[in-house]
Structure 1
Amino acid sequence: MKKPLAAALSGPFLRLYSLTLLYFSANAILNVLIPLKGESLGASNAAIGVVMGAYLFTTMLLRPWAGHLIGRHGPIRVLRAILVLNAAALALYAFTGLEGYFAARVLQGVCTAFFSMALQLGLIDALPEKERSQGISMYSLCATMPGIIGPLLAIGLWQAQNPALLAAVLLGLGAATGLVGCTARLGKPAAQGGGPDGAVPGPQAGRASASPQLGAGGGALRRSFRELAAQPQLRRCSVLMLAGSVVFGAATTFIPLYAAQVSGGSAAAYLMLQAGVVVAARFWLRKRIPSDGRWHPSFMAAVLVSLAAAALCVGLAAYGGAAAFYLGALLMGLAQAMLYPALTTYLSFTLRPESRNVQMGLFIAMADLGVSLGSIVMGPVADLFSYSAMYLLCAALAASLLLVSARETRSSAREAELPQGLA
């Protein structure tokens, strides 16, 4: 008898993954083009970092409100509206210079806040508990896949110095994303994560899982911000994601500029290698990501050691050459592939269902803030010292996260010892 297809890989979800792939393709190109454009115009690392960081800083600010509005109006209506705005943002990139990129990054940040929240909350609500990590990992995989070919395309566009070609590529991506988004369908909600056809829950499902927190508006959001400090699991996972994302953000923004200082180093090769490892790990290792609601200390320690070692290798690459540089790309990709899906899945079990949407938005906002800070804060560090020193600082930051993970291990062990009614 043929084994039934997993819900996370069924037709409706594959359509959403394809939409994710298209949506993030433009950003994979722009992540390389914007730093190169800024450097050619004489901008400082701090200025480049501000422009790059504006994208996810805006996303971070809007994540909680995105969860609120998606719960009220339903994901499909919100999704179609933001895809129109996304096309407008890409048009700004196509027809303006660096002076217009900041506004375009802000607009793109608005779009991403709603786009990613709609898809991820839909996956969490629709999939069976045992397949949540696979669905989240597949979403993250498709968001990362453009990073394999995007840097190479960006270098080609940069070397061509053809504004018309750049405009055609960006506008084409905006139109294709809107077309696929209009054909996406969100089915009726089903018990325990959707029916056998894998349909994604519709607006009522968003309201059911969000209510009454989302229905309370701004007051609910303020309560959820307080719970970020009050709930230990949410607080520690947010710290891990925030600091880890600082390292990822520093790599994304400054590798295109740092590679020129590494003997035999290529920014396109580094970013393609890192993204390739993320894609491969999230696909082939997706079933290894814990999806049982428990904290796994050995798994998390391995991820954090990989992250610290990656930043260390990149920092030493100015002296050790291309071998250390590309080893850092491999380890960075592995850490990036595992950290976000593991923490997101863990919180999907530990957060209370009635407030999960908004609180998950707060957690994801920490990832956005971290990547943004990796650009905004690490830019001045690179100006004051060097790219190498900046990445060594990132390595120390990543190593310190082992203490946070150990604290969560002790807390989880104590809760496991409590009687079931008190845990």
Structure 2
Amino acid sequence: MSGALSWPFLRLYILVLLYFSANSLLNVLIPLKGESLGATNTTIGLIMGAYMFTTMFFRPWAGHIIQRHGPIKVLRIILIVNGLALLLYTITGLGGYLVARMLQGVSTAFFSMALQVGIIDALPEEDRSQGISLYSLFSYIPGIIGPLLALSIWQGGMEYFPIMMISIAIFTGVVGYSAKIDKAKTEKIIVNPVHGVKTFSSFGQLVKNPYLLKCSILMLVGSIVFGAITTFIPLYAAQLPSSNAGIFLMLMAGTVVISRFTLRKKIPSDGKWHSLFMMGNMLLLAIAALCVGFALNGGPILFYIGACIMGIAQALLYPTLTTYLSFVLPHGNRNVLLGLFIAMADLGVSLGSVIMGPIVDIYSYSFMYMICAGLGVMMIFFAYDRRKVLVG
């Protein structure tokens, strides 16, 4: 195998799988633990949202530092931080989870940027979309088994929780320290300290750069819906007869994995804006949220159909937008601007927890998912652009 499926890249994808295994457990266990301790949906949302909010905050700096020092050096340092965060989960209660989530957020900001920058720089242009799609695919594979495993741990009294966290930290560290990116293929960008774009000043590009603005808004709104699904499904499913949160999350993650593998060559990798493709993607997002919201009356079949449709939307949105930006952003500060874009994805997931929690406390889960569907419909119109390439 060659290109995005060659052994050096497969080893990086395995590292991604190990790294995100912890989250596949924590996304289920933290809401359940919070509810058992009497925490409101607002509190649970804050704890869950702290992870991605911290990731968002550090993402631009991650892109800047990686651009200067290279992905491998940064990766090896950040794996230590990740190990400390996972260890903290095993020795603290709900209050300590907030600190652990923030540490994990810092780690993820640098980890994901290091891996994605390394993949983008090391692959030829025609393979970029496959590399990013496979990265995302392997980050979702743990979600196939993780939710059901988390429910088993929860029902068993959490006895195996510390063992799982420590094991994941060790295996991730071992694989991470042995990972390499072919330096002969990796292009390290030398940034002129005078003319290079500084991290702070680059924030203005979110508004000034039309490519970045459009992609960031689509990713932000899409991620709000994804965040609301991930955080509150474990609690919402308990209200639905004959429905299981573990099966829902397993179906969603499984669909993401299958879609990203089977459709990876369908994702545009030509630097052009494909309006119909993006509008169809946002339509899937809206339909999925509607299915979940109506599941209280429509039953478990509608609930699980929503999981599968949501998985397809999730599989396509991120790699499509990331690949497009890798072509159209200015080469000299591409990594920093990609960091800002990914930060918008992080912010969206965080807002999906933080903002939607109070809405659930005031109204209901169904009402909240109807709001998510409405956001998806708005983005269908926003995704339209008659030009194949956006012009600034």
Give TM-score, length-normalised by structure 2. 0.97
Question: Which one of the candidate residues 385, 406, 410 is aligned to 2:386?
Answer: 410
Corresponding residue SS for 1:288 = coil
TM-fit CA distance, 1:317: 0.4
Aligned pairs for 1:247-326 (under 5 A) are 247-326=225-304
1:206 to 188, 191, 197: 188
TM-score (norm 1): 0.90
- The amino acid that maps onto 2:254 is G
In structure 2, the partner of 1:177 is 172
Q: Is the 8 A contact 2:67 2:189 kept in 1?
A: yes
What do the CA deviations read for 1:168-191 (whole angstroms, capped 9, x no partner)?
1100000000000111112213xx
Counterpart position of 1:92: 88
Once the 2 structures are TM-superposed, how far is the Cα of residue 206 of structure 1 from its aligned partner? 3.3
SS in structure 2 of the partner of residue 294 of structure 1: coil
Is the 8 Å Cα contact of residues 66 and 114 (structure 1) preserved in structure 2? Answer: yes
Match of 2:45 in 1: 49
- How much does 1:251 deviate? 0.2
When residues 101 and 367 of structure 1 are mapped into structure 2, their CA distance, relative to the original with a 3 A threshold, is: same
Residue pairs, 1:15-414, within 5 angstroms:
15-163=11-159, 165-189=160-184, 194=185, 201=186, 205-208=187-190, 211-212=191-192, 215=193, 220-406=198-384, 409-412=385-388
Once the two structures are overlaid, the 10-residue window that deviates more, 114-123 or 218-227, is 218-227
Cα distance in structure 1, aligned partners of 2:133 and 2:161: 31
Structure 2 distance, partners of 1:279, 1:148, is: 9
How has the CA–CA distance of structure 1 residues 90 and 127 changed in structure 2, closer, same or farther, with 3 Å as cutoff?
same
Q: Which runs of 5+ in 1 are unaligned?
A: 195-200, 416-422
Q: RMSD of the alignment, in Å? A: 1.5
Q: How far off its partner does 1:396 sit?
A: 0.1
In structure 1, what is the Cα distance between the partners aligned to 2:166 and 2:232? 26
For the structure 1 residues 216 and 260, does the alpha-carbon distance in structure 2 shift closer, same or farther, using more than 3 Å as the test?
Answer: farther
1:15-51 alpha-carbon deviations (Å, 9 max, x no partner): 1000000000001100000000000000000000000
- Structure 2: 5+ residue runs without aligned partners? none
Structure 1 CA distance for aligned equivalents of residues 289 and 194 of structure 2: 43
Q: Per the alignment, do residues 251 and 414 of structure 1 end up closer, same or farther by CA in structure 2, a change over 3 Å counting? A: closer
Give the direction of change, closer, same or farther, for the CA distance of 1:216–1:365 in structure 2 (3 Å limit): farther
Number of residue pairs aligned between Structure 1 and Structure 2: 392
Question: Residues 88-124 of structure 1, C-alpha deviation per residue, up to 9 Å, x if partnerless?
Answer: 1001111111010000000000000000000001111
Is the 1:87–1:174 contact (alpha carbons within 8 Å) kept by the matching residues of 2?
yes
In structure 2, the residue matched to 1:197 is none
Q: Which runs of 4+ in 1 moved over 4 A?
A: 215-219
Q: Distance in 2 between matches of 1:79 and 1:157?
A: 30
